[in-house]
Structure 1
Amino acid sequence: MSDKSDTAKIKKFNNSKLKKTEVQEKNPLPSKEMIGQEKQAGES
């Protein structure tokens, strides 16, 4: 029963009130070069 009221609230939501934010990736994935260097370091 409450699902209907929730969807109505979502449809009425005004997303223009939201603040714009800059997304920064805190833990980026390593590049192929970095992975290769780590493999070489581990083998020797």
Structure 2
Amino acid sequence: MSDKPDRAEIEKFDKPKLKKTETQEKNPLSSKETIEEEKPAGES
């Protein structure tokens, strides 16, 4: 047995059959302004 995986299935894969999907950010990061506003006053 070789230590490389069998790529036969990957080479046969039909990429056009994949569905097109839109990626949506579920948990976007806060902007720098929002973070500054939420910081406690004594932390600066």
Scaled to the shorter chain, the TM-score interval is 0.7 to 0.9
Structure with more of its chain in helix, by fraction: 1
Q: How does 1:17-28 map to 2 (within 5 A)?
A: 17-28=17-28
Structure 2 residue runs of 5 or longer lacking an equivalent are none
**Shift of residue 35, structure 1, vs aligned partner:** 0.8
Runs of 4 or more, structure 1, over 4 Å off, are none
Residue by residue over 1:11-30, the C-alpha shift from the partner in whole angstroms, topping out at 9 and shown as x without a partner, is: 11111001101111000011
Q: How does 1:1-44 map to 2 (within 5 A)?
A: 1=1, 3-4=5-6, 7-39=7-39, 42-43=40-41
For the aligned residues, what is the CA RMSD?
1.8
TM-score by length of 1: 0.72
TM-score by length of 2: 0.72
Q: How many residues align?
A: 40
